[in-house]
């Protein structure tokens, strides 16, 4: 327990890993986030309603899964899958399995950047058998982010491919602090006999982690472009969303084997990594001396310096080691990229 307390204290003051954040978008909008290469983004959204006593309190579920990866720094390729979609009317066809394959390109800004950001997303909806597209914008100023989207739906609701329709959506997100935000959105399919669809959420950043979590209410049964443009449920749905970035570099230790304990060699100081901590978080050496890091943990880590003049490590599997020689006096801060709450300092005299 005594080892856990400082770890929690550091985690509470840490910034999150780069990943999609629910604190920058409302519940039914995809936002402008495009991820990073080498990371899979998995979002699990689950909505439901409970029938009345006459319906034996049956719970009807509407899950949507999102899985994708960054390509470079401005492109995100992924799929959304809704396993109980109500998008296509039963009179047209029974297609409860709705998948949307999409490719998002962000030419301007970024999800958490101040000012204006823009993302363009072409997509194909398997349930509607429709080629769709979206232009999404976001404007962030301080704690407030305003979001908007314009959509073109090639075969709306899977009904008529000869008459594409347009939809508009907008929303706002207010961050009460760095850990909690309130958000809401509305959308409307234009020139169609549909009602306004809406969503509202309270979102949380889990301290010391890249994960965000939201509790929300909505009338949309899925969050595809088409699904979030129509009022899919006759009842208000309640539910949650959880974001999970999966950094593939963390799994390098699965294939590298246990290299055993690395030796310190000629290093003036050795920092061991264990229990998600740099065991010696501050070391002091003289100019011209070296510091060595050894990963004794079960998961992979990095030694990433804030100062770009200092070489940073690649991913270190269990037993891996990394050495840096410091020739200039100064204070050099570093952290672990997969676990940003892990921080340390090298003081060179």
pLDDT exceeds cutoff 70 at 195: yes
List all residues 6 or more positions away from 263 whose beta carbon is below 8 Å from its beta carbon.
Answer: none
Question: Where would I find the beta strands (DSSP E) of 25-97?
Answer: 39-50, 59-71, 75-82
Into which CATH architecture does domain 4-249 fall? Beta Barrel (2.40)
Q: Among residues 5, 4, 3, 15, which one has the least CA distance to residue 209?
A: 15
Q: Which residues pair with 292 in a beta bridge?
A: 270, 323
| 11 band by pLDDT with thresholds 50, 70 and 90 | very low
Q: What pLDDT is recorded for position 234?
A: 80
pLDDT exceeds cutoff 80 at 278: yes
For the chain, give the percent of residues with pLDDT over 70: 89
Q: Among residues 137, 313, 133, which one has the least CA distance to residue 225?
A: 133
Topology alike, domains 4-249 and 257-348:
no
Q: For the chain, what is the radius of gyration of the CA atoms?
A: 24
The pTM assigned to this predicted structure is 0.70
| 1 band by pLDDT with thresholds 50, 70 and 90 | very low
Contact call for residues 245 and 40 (beta carbons, < 8 A)? yes
Domains of the chain by residue range: 4-249, 257-348
Into which CATH architecture does domain 257-348 fall? Sandwich (2.60)
What order of strands is seen across the sheet that includes strand 330-335?
Answer: 282-285, 343-348, 330-335, 304-305
């Amino acid at each position: 327990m005594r080892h856990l307390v400082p770890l929690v204290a550091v985690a509470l003051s840490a910034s999150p890993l780069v990943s999609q954040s629910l604190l920058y978008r409302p519940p039914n909008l995809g936002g402008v986030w495009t991820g990073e290469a080498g990371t899979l983004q998995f979002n699990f959204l689950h909505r439901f309603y409970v029938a009345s006593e006459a319906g034996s309190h049956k719970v009807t579920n509407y899950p949507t899964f999102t899985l994708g990866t960054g390509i470079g720094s401005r492109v995100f390729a992924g799929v959304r899958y809704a396993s109980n979609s109500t998008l296509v009317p039963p009179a047209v066809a029974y297609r409860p399995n709705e998948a949307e394959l999409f490719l998002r390109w962000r030419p301007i800004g970024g999800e958490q950047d101040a000012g204006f950001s823009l993302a363009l997303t072409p997509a194909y909806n398997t349930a509607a058998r429709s080629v769709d597209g979206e232009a999404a914008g976001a404007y962030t100023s301080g704690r407030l982010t305003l979001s908007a989207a314009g959509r073109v739906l090639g075969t709306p609701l899977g009904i008529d491919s000869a008459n594409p329709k347009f939809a508009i959506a907008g929303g706002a997100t207010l961050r009460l602090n760095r850990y909690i935000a309130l958000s809401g959105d509305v959308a409307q399919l234009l020139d169609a006999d549909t009602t306004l669809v809406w969503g509202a959420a309270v979102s949380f950043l889990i301290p010391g982690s890249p994960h965000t979590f939201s509790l929300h209410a909505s009338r949309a049964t899925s969050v595809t472009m088409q699904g979030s443009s129509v009022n899919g449920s006759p009842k208000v749905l309640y539910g949650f969303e959880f974001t999970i970035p999966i950094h593939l570099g963390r799994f390098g230790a699965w294939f590298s084997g246990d290299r055993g304990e690395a030796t310190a060699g000629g290093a003036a100081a050795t920092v061991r990594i264990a229990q998600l901590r740099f065991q010696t978080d501050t070391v002091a050496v003289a100019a011209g001396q070296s510091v060595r890091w050894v990963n004794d943990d079960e998961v992979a880590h990095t030694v990433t310096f804030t100062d770009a003049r200092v070489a940073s490590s690649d991913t270190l599997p269990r037993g891996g080691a990394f050495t840096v020689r410091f020739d200039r006096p100064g204070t050099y801060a570093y952290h672990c990229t997969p676990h940003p709450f892990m921080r340390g300092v090298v003081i060179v005299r």
